[in-house]
Structure 1
Amino acid sequence: MTDPRSLLSSSATLGTAFVLLWCTGYIAGKLMVAHAAPLTALVWRFGLAGFSFAVFALATRAPWGRPRALMHSAVAGVLMLALQFGGVYMAMERGAGAGVAALVIGTMPLAVAVLAVATGQERLRAVQWCGLVLGIAGVALVVADRIGGEVSWAAWLALLAGLAGISLGTVYQKRHASTVDLRTGLAMQNIAAALVLLPGALWVEGFRFAHASDFYLPMLWTVAVNSIGGFALLFVLIRRGAATRVAALFFLMPPVTALLGTWLLGEHLTALKLAGFALAAVGVWLVARPAATTAR
């Protein structure tokens, strides 16, 4: 019989690995846009990831499902991948730090909650509204010293577009694309994202990237580690029945990314930013935590 403590320890190890791998994607993205145009970098990333997932799906005889379901999956991919990361990479090219980008995108559960209320899918409790206020206050603390500084308003708008992409994509995925097989769904989403971004990469950016290891290494990292390895770990954690703990792990993304950015990119981390990270994490936790049940 399997020792429950062994399973818990294993899930904790996988969860720690998942957080670290996921957060490195922001660092690798920052390195990529230093040597490539943002949309071009993403076409490389999503194109290679989509090809890898498609080959894996074919090799394992994964079901592709009905065309309508695949189309829904493609729409979700355009929102969650093309719009989200397009906004993030364009913002980082314009001066946004990896930690700030992670924090803005990390408030996704707050935005999703607002969308759910607006569309009548759920109602928020008072404590959840308090969480929304705390989350917004946390973001304000983190970005206060950057507004009007080296980060342009175009970068903030790009990050908000990225936040809208992952938020709308999450709601759309839940309602319309949750029945597609994981392997074929990820292949379709990555391929659709690459195709949508390709015209901009070709005609606006001239498909500009450096033929050097400074670009290829972080690009391959985002494909193998973030797009493939990160989603594989996520799938394993959910298969082990740790879905709620996986959701809680996203609360750790902004501070961990900020620390990685400080060590690897030399980004400035202040006490005010740390307070903002903590406040935003508490806000997201209050919004996402389940309602207390009455003991019998």
Structure 2
Amino acid sequence: MPAVFVVIWSTGFVVARYGMPHAPPFAFLAVRFILSALLLGVWAQLAGAAWPASRGQWRHLAITGVLMHGGYLGGVWAAVRWGIGAGTVALIVGLQPLLTTLWVEARHRSSITGAAHERLGPRHWIGLLMGLCGLALVVGPKLGHGEVTPVNLVLALLALLSITAGTLYQKHHVQPCDVRTAGAVQMVAALVVAAPIALGELTGGGAHVDLHPELIGAMAWSVLALTLGGSSLLYLLIARGAATRVTSLMYLVPPCTAVLAWLLFDEVINVSMVAGMALSLAGVLLVVRAGRGRS
């Protein structure tokens, strides 16, 4: 399941390259959230899946939907729209495991309740730093001069903070429930955020939607593969694993994205990028094995 998740999640940056020239980011995402919510809701009803039992769980799921879909996807797609490259976004968002680790460590040290928290040892830190160095080797050659601006940098950082906060929030507040009903609630919550911005893009912003085959294909893949597949897998991985081990998988996304770009767009992969992929993989394996040794 983790390997499938990494491959599916990596295609999100490739999809942005296809869809972004033909529609403004939040208009695209608003339609994606509508279609995803409808499909997940129908799927849940046909399967007889249970919906969240309490208002608190509805609220927690809504908050994670706003953070992990509205904030993360909105930040990434808007940053790409404003000129930042997919490799640069991947590098910035790839800092998530380090932020997660720092938060877990700070929470453990400041805890006075005696509750059980994830304990981080030297192997965790070494593995996380190896992954970060691997990321730099992979996406470093793709960083363009003048590519990063204050606007797209803030948007990319917003995406990073949103996915990190959403992952931690879900791990600590969302109780186990059916992934289909949970996803439907998250999509509706994300739509509440995206819809007003999309309306502004299409009216006050002067943007328009071009029903190009690339846009239709990007939408279909975004809904069926990324939302119903990737987002559902992420939900299950967070529910079943420690936050640090789950987010360490994000280190594999930029290398996987580089391979997909090479296959689809004939982008060059050099020696430093191959070394970075190997280093990232080694770092993730070290973090995962360290976590298993403590569990």
Scaled by the length of structure 2, the TM-score of the pair is 0.80
Counterpart position of 1:177:
174
Deviation at 1:193, TM superposition (A): 0.7
**Cα distance change on mapping 1:93 and 1:267 into 2, 3 Å:** farther
Q: How does 1:210-221 map to 2 (within 5 A)?
A: 210-221=210-221
CA distance in 1, matches of 2:278, 2:260: 16
Describe the shift of the 1:136–1:19 C-alpha distance in structure 2 as closer, same or farther (beyond 3 A): closer
1:125 to 121, 125, 140: 121
Q: Which residue of 2 aligns with 1:273?
A: 273
Identify unmatched segments of 5+ residues in structure 2.
109-116
Q: Residue 16 and residue 282 in structure 1: after superposition, are their counterparts in 2 closer, same or farther (change >3 A)?
A: closer
Preserved contact between residue 179 and residue 232 of structure 2 (Cα < 8 Å): no
Q: 1:232 to 1:88 in 2, by over 3 A?
A: closer
Equivalent-residue separation in structure 1 for 2:241 and 2:170 (angstroms): 20
Counting only pairs closer than 5 Å after superposition, residues 1-296 of structure 1 correspond to structure 2 as 17-64=4-51, 65-120=53-108, 121-145=117-141, 146=143, 148-206=145-203, 208-231=208-231, 247=246, 251-290=251-290
Deviation of the 1:148 alpha carbon: 3.6
**Structure 1 residue 84 displacement after superposition:** 0.9
Provide Cα deviations, 1:36-67, integer angstroms capped at 9, x if missing partner.
11111111112210111112222333222212
How far apart are residue 28 of structure 1 and its match?
Answer: 1.2
Higher deviation after alignment, 154-163 or 220-229: 154-163
Aligned sequence identity (%): 35
Alignment-mate amino acid for residue 201 of structure 1: A
2:132–2:251 Cα contact (<8 Å) kept: no
Question: Closer, same or farther in 2 for the Cα pair 1:73/1:82, shift >3 Å?
Answer: same
Deviates more, 1:70-79 or 1:36-45: 36-45
When residues 147 and 276 of structure 1 are mapped into structure 2, their CA distance, relative to the original with a 3 A threshold, is: farther
TM-superposed deviation, 1:110:
2.7
| Partners of 1:224 and 1:16 in 2: CA distance | 18
Contact 1:73 1:180 in 2 (8 A): no
For residue 119 of structure 1, give the secondary structure of its aligned residue in structure 2.
Answer: helix
Alpha-carbon shift at residue 192 of structure 1 (Å): 0.7
**Aligned length in residues:** 279
Pair 270,168 (structure 1): closer, same or farther in 2 beyond 3 Å: same
Secondary structure of the structure 2 residue equivalent to 1:179: coil
Structure 1 residue 289: deviation in Å? 3.0
Displacement of 1:269: 3.5
- Following superposition, the deviation at residue 186 of structure 1 comes to 0.4
Query: Structure 1 pair 268/193, CA: closer, same or farther in 2 (3 Å)?
Result: farther
CA contact (8 A) 1:84 1:161 kept: yes
Displacement after TM superposition at 1:235 (Å)? 8.2
Structure 1 residue 76 displacement after superposition:
0.6
Partner Cα distance (1:251, 1:97) in 2: 18
> Deviation at 1:258?
0.8
1:38 aligned partner, one-letter code? P
Q: Is the 8 A contact 1:84 1:162 kept in 2?
A: yes
- 8 Å CA contact 2:139–2:254 kept in 1: the answer is no
Inter-CA distance 278–111: structure 2 relative to 1 (3 Å threshold): farther
Q: Residue type of the partner of 1:133?
A: L
Q: Is this contact kept in 2: 1:107–1:135, CA < 8 A?
A: no
In the superposition, relative to structure 1, how do residues 90 and 285 fare at CA in structure 2: closer, same or farther (>3 Å)?
farther
Tell me the amino acid that sits aligned with residue 53 of structure 1: L
Give the drift of 1:256.
1.7
User: Taking structure 1 as reference, are residues 17 and 285 closer, same or farther at Cα in structure 2, changes over 3 Å only?
Assistant: closer
**More displaced, 177-186 or 203-212?**
203-212
| Structure 1: unaligned runs, 5 residues or longer | 1-13
Say if 2:138 and 2:277, in contact at 8 Å, map to a contact too: yes
Question: 1:219, CA displacement in angstroms?
Answer: 0.8
Higher mean C-alpha deviation, range 53-62 or range 66-75: 53-62
CA distance in 2, matches of 1:129, 1:233: 25
